[in-house]
A and B are shown apart, each in its own frame.
Chain A
Amino acid sequence: MSALQTVRDTVAGWLRSGEIELFIGYEAGTVPLRATPTFIRNPEDVDRLIWDATCENNLAAFLPKYRGKKVGIMVKGCDSHAVIGLLQEGQVIRENLRIVGVHCPGVVDVRRVAAQLGVPVEQIDDARIEGEQVIVGEQTLALRDVLFEGCQTCTCHAPAIYDVTLGEPVVDAAEGDSFAHVREMEALSAEERWVRFAQELERCNLCFACRNACPMCYCNICFVDRSMPRWFNQTTQPEDKQFYQVMRTFHLAGRCVGCGACTRACPQGINIRLFLDKLRADVQELYGYEAGEDAEAKPPLTTYREDDYNDFIL
């Protein structure tokens, strides 16, 4: 019996015993190279569950909706840190969760596949993953060449929290690599950084897919939706888009776990994680803290230590 079938049976068992009333996992989607979230309540339906490199969504984003309910979930390494983040913030209770932690070698980025083949993303009609290869029509690409950018420098392949696991352990990238893109940006002058930031956001539609895909963006009323005061307008003027991105980024300071769901959700392919990773790097440097590592840890922006970095306070 395959490892996946064992997991399916385990999930069916959890459902039958009443340990969970719902399991959130992935099933095959209708668009090539992208799986879709599935919500299973009936143990007979567990055969829908799949696991492969098309399973890119961070399903932890659905957990706050099921507060108080007993829920099972499939999480990749990165997603599992989001679960820990939600535990830290009291949004889920460990006893209510049954977690299938997956050793994830990385998820495929359809835009990269398209770029390598020199075709628009929508033109990829017939594609599948076979082992370490992505087969598109007559052409074959190496899966490792078309993984999502964040996956290529991932240091958290292993699930950090789980009840059962799936998959074989994967070698992490060297510790220094994951913030290389942040260092590159930091090396630029303030003006150059502003130009790059503004350019990156030119394509932003203000659709809020990034916010909605983020497991840590669960506020009942987001600053975006406030009308009194109206913090910014719903236009695609640069200042409105920039305001939104900056504010969301700062609201995630010390909370973002670096899962990359925002970047993968963006319909315009904007490199959103670049901004978030800058803050993650800063928080690590200034407070020696990483969100989503320890369910008991208190986030630095909610606690006070005498030796806290406070050079920014006048």
Chain B
Amino acid sequence: MLSKKALTSTLYDLMDLYRVIAPCQRDGELRFDRVSSPREIVLDYGNTAKSPKGVFFPQNEAMIKFGRQVDQFNQIKQVPLDRTPTVLLGVRPCDARSFLLLDAVFAQGRYLDPYYQARRQNTLIVTMACASPRQTCFCHAFGSGPYDREGSDIFLRDAGDAYLVEGVSQKGRDLIYQGYLGRASQAYLDKAVEIEAQANARLADIEPVAGIEKLLPGLFDSPIWQEISEKCIACGTCTYACPTCHCFNIEDRVLANSGERVRAWDSCMYQFFTQHASGHNPRPDQAARWRQRTMHKFEYLPRNVGLFGCVGCGRCVQSCPVRLDIRGVLRRVRAAAEAAATAGANVEE
């Protein structure tokens, strides 16, 4: 148990040992950034508008740098990997789970991303349970919830004037045992449970997502994609806000005598995302692009890595300039699948 009064001094101790990244005010918005003082940290918040995926997968990242020698850019300099011991403090359970999906892409299987792995392996995730979910939150549709420990190393729960601190992983437990935190009394345990019940009561009703991956392949040629995507303006804001979106572009940023090869976030919503050098675009319209977005998150990823490409954080719903609601997309998918099944059953009769 950690009293809220003792939090600041504990954080000072932590900052002696680790780079601490936490929610703080930067450029007039609340976002995850390195803090130089515990006083900058904001733990009492809903969720940030931008996800913390940038901690492991920055929006722009130089992968190599190069310099010119006479008339060739042939001085290649490796960019050092970032292995700074880090604590990522105050993420919500949805965001902690999102890192598991990013791991499946960047740190598993045949292709391992050293830039991502260096950061990920040297970071401890300290999650703050979510006491007030928004009405756009739908983590519970994935069988998760505002108090889900999955993906966390340490899990904090609000218990009134203190936090309950749990070690979830071995890494997390090791860190906790380095300081004396004291056991929580029953009163604090009860208070934490009360807050959790209030949090759960705020969750809006929604159908579970599980099973949708079976419905999607049959809808590849459905007209619903045109209807769903008609109001999409293809701005990519959803992709940039999303904690699990991970598609990227690689381009060379060249100055007169030097340059860097930069990896930058890209979005499948952009018109030229799949533009070929020949001029052909296999996803020529927003309908095709929305079909891909939905199937990538809710069919291809579950099939390939066993995880949905969505954690139900609701950021896309909040930030979309035309309020295209992915929960509505899932409802349309289910309705269309049901209609097709009924039609099919009628034909069989």
Chain A residues close to B by CB (< 8 Å) = 29-32, 34-39, 57, 61-62, 120-123, 125-126, 202-203, 205, 207-209, 211-213, 225, 230, 233-237, 264-265, 267-269
- Contact A30/B328 with A36-B323, A122-B49, A202-B27 known, Cβ cut-off 8 Å: yes
Q: Considering the chains assembled together, what is the distance between the CA atoms of A268 and B262 in angstroms?
A: 23
Would B318 and A236 count as touching, CB distance under 8 A? no
Taking each of B233, B251, B266, B327, which has the highest tally of chain A beta carbons within 10 Å of its own beta carbon?
B233
Main secondary structure of the interface of A (DSSP, over half): mixed
Cβ-based interface call for B60 (8 A): yes
Main secondary structure of the interface of B (DSSP, over half): loop
Would B253 and A233 count as touching, CB distance under 8 A? yes
- Contact A234/B249 with A202-B27, A207-B235, A264-B321 known, Cβ cut-off 8 Å: yes
Which residues of A have CB within 8 Å of B318? 31, 121-122
Would B29 and A37 count as touching, CB distance under 8 A? no
Would B237 and A29 count as touching, CB distance under 8 A? no
Which residues of A have CB within 8 Å of B236? 207-209
Would A209 and B29 count as touching, CB distance under 8 A? no
Would A234 and B136 count as touching, CB distance under 8 A? no
Would B28 and A203 count as touching, CB distance under 8 A? yes
Q: Considering the chains assembled together, what is the distance between the CA atoms of A122 and B314 in angstroms?
A: 10
Which residues of B have CB within 8 Å of A213? 233, 235, 321
Interface residues on B, range: 35 or more
Q: Considering the chains assembled together, what is the distance between the CA atoms of A213 and B324 in angstroms?
A: 14
Within 8 A of A (CB), among B257-290: 262, 264-267, 270-272
Cβ-based interface call for B59 (8 A): yes
Which residues of B have CB within 8 Å of A211? 235
- Taking A31-B323, A209-B235, A211-B235 as given, write out 16 further A-B residue pairs in contact, using a Cβ cutoff of 8 Å, ordered by the A residue number: A30-B323, A31-B136, A36-B323, A37-B230, A39-B231, A61-B233, A122-B49, A122-B314, A122-B318, A203-B28, A212-B321, A233-B251, A236-B59, A237-B60, A265-B233, A267-B237
5 shortest interchain CB distances as A-B pairs: A209-B235, A265-B321, A36-B323, A212-B233, A235-B60
CB distance from A285 to the nearest CB of B (A): 31
- Contact A122/B46 with A30-B323, A208-B236 known, Cβ cut-off 8 Å: yes
Taking each of A36, A123, A212, which has the highest tally of chain B beta carbons within 10 Å of its own beta carbon?
A212
> Which of B60, B241, B266, B323 lies in contact with A236, CB distance below 8 A?
B60
Q: Considering the chains assembled together, what is the distance between the CA atoms of A200 and B270 in angstroms?
A: 25
- Contact A120/B46 with A29-B323, A233-B262 known, Cβ cut-off 8 Å: yes
Would B317 and A31 count as touching, CB distance under 8 A? yes
- CB closest residue in chain B, given A233: B253
Would A267 and B49 count as touching, CB distance under 8 A? yes
Q: Considering the chains assembled together, what is the distance between the CA atoms of A31 and B328 in angstroms?
A: 12
Which residues of A have CB within 8 Å of B29? 203, 268-269
Q: Considering the chains assembled together, what is the distance between the CA atoms of A126 and B136 in angstroms?
A: 11
> Which of B27, B45, B132, B323 lies in contact with A34, CB distance below 8 A?
B323
Q: Considering the chains assembled together, what is the distance between the CA atoms of A61 and B249 in angstroms?
A: 27
Q: Considering the chains assembled together, what is the distance between the CA atoms of A120 and B46 in angstroms?
A: 8
Would B251 and A265 count as touching, CB distance under 8 A? no
Q: Considering the chains assembled together, what is the distance between the CA atoms of A230 and B28 in angstroms?
A: 31
CB distance from A74 to the nearest CB of B (A): 14
Q: Considering the chains assembled together, what is the distance between the CA atoms of A38 and B230 in angstroms?
A: 8
Cβ-based interface call for B234 (8 A): yes
- CB closest residue in chain B, given A30: B325
Binary A-proximity of B121-160 (CB < 8 A = 1, otherwise 0): 0000000000010111000000000000000000000000
CB distance from A18 to the nearest CB of B (A): 20
> Which of B134, B240, B262 lies in contact with A122, CB distance below 8 A?
B134
Which residues of B have CB within 8 Å of A203? 27-29
Which residues of B have CB within 8 Å of A267? 49, 237, 240-241, 319, 321
30 inter-chain pairs at a CB distance below 8 angstroms, sorted by A residue, are A29-B323, A30-B317, A30-B323, A36-B325, A39-B227, A57-B321, A121-B49, A121-B318, A122-B46, A122-B49, A122-B314, A122-B318, A123-B134, A203-B28, A205-B50, A205-B59, A207-B235, A207-B236, A207-B267, A208-B270, A209-B236, A209-B237, A212-B233, A212-B321, A213-B233, A230-B251, A234-B251, A235-B253, A235-B262, A268-B29
CB distance from B91 to the nearest CB of A (A): 16
Binary A-proximity of B42-75 (CB < 8 A = 1, otherwise 0): 0001110110000000011000000000000000
Q: Considering the chains assembled together, what is the distance between the CA atoms of A123 and B230 in angstroms?
A: 28
Q: Considering the chains assembled together, what is the distance between the CA atoms of A61 and B233 in angstroms?
A: 9
CB distance from B201 to the nearest CB of A (A): 13
Which residues of B have CB within 8 Å of A212? 233-235, 321
- CB closest residue in chain A, given B277: A227
Which residues of B have CB within 8 Å of A62? 231
Q: Considering the chains assembled together, what is the distance between the CA atoms of A203 and B27 in angstroms?
A: 6
> Which of A36, A122, A225, A233 lies in contact with B264, CB distance below 8 A?
A233
- CB closest residue in chain B, given A232: B253
Taking each of A39, A126, A207, which has the highest tally of chain B beta carbons within 10 Å of its own beta carbon?
A207
Q: Considering the chains assembled together, what is the distance between the CA atoms of A14 and B102 in angstroms?
A: 50
CB distance from A244 to the nearest CB of B (A): 13
- Contact A125/B135 with A36-B323, A203-B28, A209-B233 known, Cβ cut-off 8 Å: yes
- CB closest residue in chain B, given A204: B27
Cβ-based interface call for B322 (8 A): yes
Would A205 and B240 count as touching, CB distance under 8 A? yes
Would B240 and A123 count as touching, CB distance under 8 A? no
Cβ-based interface call for B199 (8 A): no
Which residues of B have CB within 8 Å of A237? 60, 253
- CB closest residue in chain B, given A57: B322
